[in-house]
Amino acid sequence: MELKRISDCVWEIPKTGAMRVPGRIYADKRLLDLAKGDKALDQVVNVATLPGIVKWSLAMPDIHWGYGFPIGGVAAFSLDEGVISPGGVGYDINCGVRVCKTGLTFKELEGKHKKLVNALFNAVPTGVGGDSAIGRLSKADGTGIVTTGAKWAVEHGFGKPSDLDYTEDGGTMAGADPAAASDTAFKRGLGQVGTLGSGNHFLELDRVDETYTPEALSVFGLSVGDVVLLIHCGSRGFGYQICDENVHDFVKIAGRYHIDLADRQLACAPASSWEGKKYLSAMACAANYAWVNRQVIMILAGRALSDCLGKSVEPELIYDVCHNIAKIEDHEVDGKMMKVIVHRKGATRAFPAGHPLTPAKYKDVGQPVLVPGDMGRCSFLLTGLPGAMKETFGSTCHGAGRTASRGEMNRRMQGVDLDAELRSMGVTVRGKTRASLAEEMPSAYKDADVVTEVMERAGISKRIAKFVPFAVIKG
């Protein structure tokens, strides 16, 4: 595969064969070599063959192989001639991250890490399946959840109205239609609200370890040494079912719309078709479900911390972003503003200072971007830069990005004392199973420090602060 160097950390795959646009990869030489190790770059090429794609098929520096689209992939499609692809959103629709102030300092929690971990683990259900700590909800509740999103949670005692101001899209994605989601999706989802799930999802306490821009950090009300709560999860079985059903349906209709697929996993439908519109409505339902899920977990975690410490701890939301979503947005294409459907799969929205969708409190610094790393090293708070609007449809990386599969990590970690290894990094952890920890050990991931540095060098997003974990629960 030919790769042309565009700048210090931008590489281009020239348009050849069935490609409708070039591919672009954000990476330094080290990260590019890692990307070449799996089929992720082939997936960048495959995405570039889809109808209606504009400008580029993009890959962020955390790129790795995914379902159809690479994880870390971004692509925008014309509303009139383009497609919507469930594989370009992902199975865990609106998987995302929220970060909250706790009002605690790292110093005052010394000697209490294990107690805190156990309290959080007992309060927030984890693992595959997982029964909600708030019980199985009714279908009427489900309808409210998937249509109004985080607002439903606030109205039912989980948080306060101001939380909505600091949630992407106000915690409610427009266009959700419960009729677009199957009974099976509701059956899977109604008992999982307020649960963490498995895989790379986590709930953790981090200390603010370092700041790159003290003035910007003060806007977020944080200082070095403060403790923040990070929550990383999505739409659970509800979103998975919606993706799975639509992928299978879209494979069957590709011929009807004369769509030649380079890979069956790229199954898609014209955005203007009734099938495409139905998926968008169902996807919006799952996005709203995920915002409710993270909102409920935040409150459950706050209650657990309060009980554990014997004083009131009310997490204050700094921001909540999603990184598995497709959105209709206005972007400049070939010198003209155009409505496009931006697919962000393992990529985060990163709007700059002054953008109308950035919360008023952050208008001078830019939209917050939350990039979780692995449970042993660090995560980051960033903000969007103007370069994101020019080059990446207002998008940046979403995490560190895997370098080893879960199966490989289970083999690699045989005989290793996982708890001891993490303790050596200053981390107290509790997981549902040993396998769930082995799969997510730090060596499974790229270094988030390097990934976020690349995006800053490229002028896409700016690092504000580094968070270091010390108390983690996993599914």
Q: What are the pLDDT digits (tens) for 40-65? A: 999 999 999 999 999 999 999 999 99
pLDDT > 80? residue 192: yes
Mean pLDDT, the chain, whole residue set? 95
Residue 186 has a pLDDT of 96
Task: Please choose, from the candidates 103, 273, 285, 301, the residue with its C-alpha nearest in 3D space to the C-alpha of residue 204.
Answer: 301
Tell me: pLDDT of 180 over 90. yes
Q: Is 310 exposed, middle or buried (0-12, 13-18, 19+ CB in 10 A)?
A: exposed
Mean pLDDT of 405-429: 92
Q: Are 65 and 47 in contact (CB under 8 A)?
A: no
Residues with catalytic annotation? 398
Give start and end residues of each alpha helix (H) in 190-235: 214-219
**Which pairing describes strands 71-78 and 96-105: parallel, antiparallel, or unpaired?**
unpaired
Q: Per-residue pLDDT averaged across 99-103, rounded? A: 98
What is the pLDDT averaged over residues 260-265?
A: 94
DSSP category for residue 178: G
Average pLDDT over residues 71-76: 97
SS3 127: coil
What's the confidence (pLDDT) of residue 130?
Answer: 65
Using alpha carbons, select from 328, 180, 325, 277 the residue that is nearest to residue 269: 277
Q: pTM of the entire structure?
A: 0.96
Show the domains of the chain with their CATH numbers: 4-474 (3.90.1860.10)
pLDDT tens by residue, 102-155: 999 999 999 999 999 999 999 999 877 667 888 778 889 999 999 999 999 999
Name 253's bridge partners: none
Q: What is the pLDDT of residue 174?
A: 96
Q: Is the pLDDT of residue 167 over 70?
A: yes
